[in-house]
């Protein structure tokens, strides 16, 4: 059935969706009434139509500037630098951070041919100065690319005199020493804190 195969092909391009899951999803859509399919289709196009990038921080938003950038209750003296727009939502969900964000839109990766020019770095120094930021928290992933990018941003910000910090790396809460990889363990030792 072409209509089924066509949908399954597209669905299985989504992350974490294999052929089997794609078929299960398609069969479920077939089983439910047409209203569900229509609504799902509408919301998929609606997502792309309504969601844009905040012109200030680069996060996903329906209004520009985004709710974080325009909120009077956020701490404008702290700026958290992340790789992707969705990282903002992940951090917001933790309710731990109350400052502003700056989305890079990628990481420096010489192997993939991605240099600093491909990232939203030009506005970062300006924003730090304009907002009177006291601390920049680098929250790129603890990977080779994330660490490289963090180091690059740190050097770029040296001229501003702002304090630059990096998210702690170590054992995840609930983790097991037995299953921790060597590098995580190394970082956990080096970053150990007084008790």
Taking CB under 8 A as the criterion, the residue among 11, 82, 100, 139 binding a second copy is 11
Query: What minimum distance in Å lies between the beta carbon of 144 and a second copy?
Result: 22
Question: Is residue 4 a contact point for a second copy (CB under 8 A)?
Answer: yes
* SS3 annotation, the chain: CHHHHHHHHHHCCCCCCCHHHHHHHHHHHHHCCHHHHHHHHHHHHHHHHHCEECCCCCCEECCCCCHHHHCCCCEEEEEEEECCHHHHHHHHHHCCCCEEEEECCCCCEHHHCECHHHCCCHHHHHHHHHHCCCEEEECCCCCHHHHHHHHHHHHHHHHHCCEEEECCCCCCCCCCHHHCCHHHHHHHHHCCCCC
Considering only residues 71 through 90, tell me which ones interact with a second copy, judged by CB under 8 A: 85-86, 89
Q: Is 118 in the site for a second copy (CB under 8 A)?
A: no
* Nearest CB to a second copy, comparing residues 40 and 183: 40
The reply to whether 122 sits near a second copy by the rule CB under 8 A is no
Q: Which stretch, 2-10, 70-78, 112-120, 185-193, contacts a second copy (CB under 8 A)?
A: 2-10
Residue of 2, 95, 190, 192 interacting with a second copy (CB under 8 A): 2
- Applying CB under 8 A, the residues found at the interface with a second copy are 1-4, 6-7, 10-11, 13-17, 21, 23-30, 34, 36-51, 60-62, 85-86, 89
């Amino acid at each position: 059935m072409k209509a089924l195969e066509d949908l399954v092909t597209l669905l299985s391009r989504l992350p974490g969706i294999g052929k089997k899951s794609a078929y299960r999803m398609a069969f479920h859509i077939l089983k439910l009434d047409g209203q569900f399919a229509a609504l799902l289709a509408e919301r998929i196009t609606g997502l792309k139509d309504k969601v844009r990038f905040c012109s200030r921080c680069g996060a996903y938003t329906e209004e520009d500037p985004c709710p974080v950038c325009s909120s009077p209750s956020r701490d404008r003296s702290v700026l958290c630098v992340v790789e992707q727009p969705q990282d903002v939502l992940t951090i917001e969900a933790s309710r731990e951070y109350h400052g502003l964000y700056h989305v890079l839109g990628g990481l420096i990766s010489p192997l993939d041919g991605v240099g600093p020019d491909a990232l939203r770095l030009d506005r970062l120094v300006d924003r730090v100065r304009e907002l009177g930021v006291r601390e920049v928290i680098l929250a790129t992933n603890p990977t080779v690319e994330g660490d490289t990018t963090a180091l690059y941003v740190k050097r770029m910000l040296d001229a501003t005199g702002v304090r630059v910090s990096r998210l702690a790396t170590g054992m995840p809460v609930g983790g097991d020493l037995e299953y921790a990889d060597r590098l995580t363990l190394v970082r956990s030792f080096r970053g150990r804190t007084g008790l």
